[in-house]
């Protein structure tokens, strides 16, 4: 049995074309927005971790000591 592979021709990149420049600009904008979102998420996660650590410390400080008899 003979197998055939079809390789579609990809259009050549024309970096000077308005479409290429527009799509590149849109991609750059999207990456910047994503980066801002990730930064916001990281800050929120750090605040949450700090709150958990503070809460754990408060619980450790306020827990009644247990004595084994």
Tell me, yes or no, whether 15 lies in a domain: no
Tell me, yes or no, whether 49 lies in a domain: yes
Question: Which pair of tokens denotes residue 68?
Answer: 């084994």
Give the pLDDT of the chain (69 residues) as one tens digit per residue. Answer: 777 777 777 667 788 888 888 999 999 999 999 999 999 999 999 999 999 999 998 888 876 666 565
Tell me, yes or no, whether 41 lies in a domain: yes
Spell out the residues 6+ positions from residue 21 whose beta carbon is closer than 8 angstroms to its own: 15
Question: Which pair of tokens denotes residue 13?
Answer: 């990149």
Q: Which domain holds residue 38?
A: 32-59
pTM, full prediction: 0.58
Nearest residue to 15 (alpha-carbon basis) of 4, 26, 6, 23: 23
Tell me, yes or no, whether 21 lies in a domain: no
**Structural domain count of the chain:** 1
Tell me, yes or no, whether 8 lies in a domain: no
Tell me, yes or no, whether 50 lies in a domain: yes
């Amino acid at each position: 049995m003979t197998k055939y592979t079809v390789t579609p021709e990809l259009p050549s990149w024309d970096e000077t074309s308005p479409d290429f420049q527009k799509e590149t600009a849109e991609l750059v904008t999207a990456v910047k927005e994503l980066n801002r979102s990730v930064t916001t998420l990281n800050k929120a996660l750090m605040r949450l971790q700090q709150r958990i650590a503070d809460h754990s410390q408060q619980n450790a400080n306020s827990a009644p000591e247990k004595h084994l008899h």
